[in-house]
Structure 1
Amino acid sequence: MAIQLRPSQALRLWQQTSLAEVRGQRPDLTERQMAILLTIYLDPPPHTVRGLADRLGVTKPVITRALDTMGAMKLVSRHRDERDRRNVLIKRTVEGALFVERFGDVVVAKAQELPL
């Protein structure tokens, strides 16, 4: 099932979703942080700092800074890879899973409000 949206509808959906997030007093993530979070939760693990940097086309320090913020919010956690101590594995958390699921619910609800 393909959903057909005009550009103005897609932008309205993005705006309404963003407004709902701002009004909802939930963690305020940047575009980059949201892209990282959704990659961690929607793409199959394992996730590493290096792998996320490659996937998003940014540097490892950029990923590290974003993960610092999201870790403080308990949306993700980091652990050393026991098989290769040079790697840092990024793990999902219950709080992060609930955040992503709720965000998906908001997107669906706002899409259903779009005028046809």
Structure 2
Amino acid sequence: MSNQISRRTLLTAVPASGVALALPTDAQTATPIQRLYEQWLVLWDEVENLSADDQIDRATDRLIALENQMIELPSQCTADLAAKIAAYTRWGDCPELPQPGGLLWEELRMQIARS
């Protein structure tokens, strides 16, 4: 038996930090990634109140779809990259990270090279 926590298990738990990444709320200035992140945050909060397995499964599928949409988009700013990392890793609590060749890691390497 593995000691790792699944994404589904993590989704049903209350986030350890209780802190959400704050992004611009003005729809005209928010980037596509930031708008997806705001949708993700709303759904993440809703998951905490679900109890039926089928509801949790559907919500988890929607969360993962939003995360994958964010990962596919290029970041326009540092806040975009932070939103991707926060959502995809559940603020570092999720052990199921993209493989080293994944889009997230490629983007991180590019961001570091630019600085």
Give yes or no for TM over 0.5.
no
More strand per residue = 1
Specify which structure has the bigger relative contact order, considering alpha-carbon pairs within 8 angstroms and separated by 6 or more residues. Answer: 2
| Structure exhibiting the larger radius of gyration computed from Cα positions | 1
Shorter-chain TM band = under 0.3
